[in-house]
Amino acid sequence: MSIRSIRLAVLVSGRGSNLQAIVDAVRAGRLQASVEVVVSDVADAPALARARAGGIPAAVVRRRDYPSRAEFELALAGAVERARPDLVVLAGFMRLLGPAFLDRFPGRVINIHPSLLPAFPGLEAQKQALEYGVRFTGCTVHYVDYGMDSGAIIDQRVVEVMPGDDGDSLSARILEQEHELLVDVIRRIGAQMKMDEKTGEETGKQMSGAISEGGCVRHGREQA
């Protein structure tokens, strides 16, 4: 049995520009994938409108509707599991996830973060970079573990901090790279899943990045 298009579940909390980048890449034939569901913890997140406009099933699971974090995560996992995804993509999802969710999708949850991790984890990474005075920052796609942006790095893109940059200008340039990087990583993970199915190996292996001579992370490698 060969993997058809990689099935994606995308978790969002905000505008959904990275979701849109995935959808656009699928429509343009640049990404062999299908977005099976978009789930948000924010009922009026603009990303939900993007999903519905594209004919993608959308669901809302709000933290405040559940008495505990674990119960919220179980409900979130249920909304995702019904779509039978190969990969769960956090694309601007603004909550930490713990065992109740992550243990249901081992090795199959990735996140995009606007810094060169492990530098500047958490909120306002662009502001952190400017305040620290770094000359270069960027974005990272990584596997999600129980910590704050602490999972294994898959790939990164470097963005130069320009004189006169403020939070908005730097964020905009990083976001352009996020759109490209996230699609590229999903494409490579999908290719790895296809290869694993052909060879009869178990899917869900993690890939970690390898830094090229130019300082930009370009290629992934399997991690045992």
Instruction: Name the maximum alpha-carbon separation found in the chain.
Output: 54
pLDDT higher than 80, residue 106: yes
Residue 85's nearest CA partner among 49, 45, 57 is 57
What's the CATH number of domain 6-197, 3.40.50.1860, 3.20.20.80, 3.40.50.170, 3.40.50.150?
Answer: 3.40.50.170
Query: What does the pLDDT look like over 124-176, one tens digit per residue?
Result: 999 999 999 999 999 999 999 999 999 999 999 999 999 999 999 999 999 99
Catalytic site residue 113? yes
Tell me the domain boundaries of the chain. 6-197
Query: What does the pLDDT look like over 17-69, one tens digit per residue?
Result: 999 999 999 999 999 999 999 999 999 999 999 999 999 999 999 999 999 99
Look at strands 33-40 and 58-60 and give their pairing: parallel
Catalytic member of 113, 142, 179, 219? 113
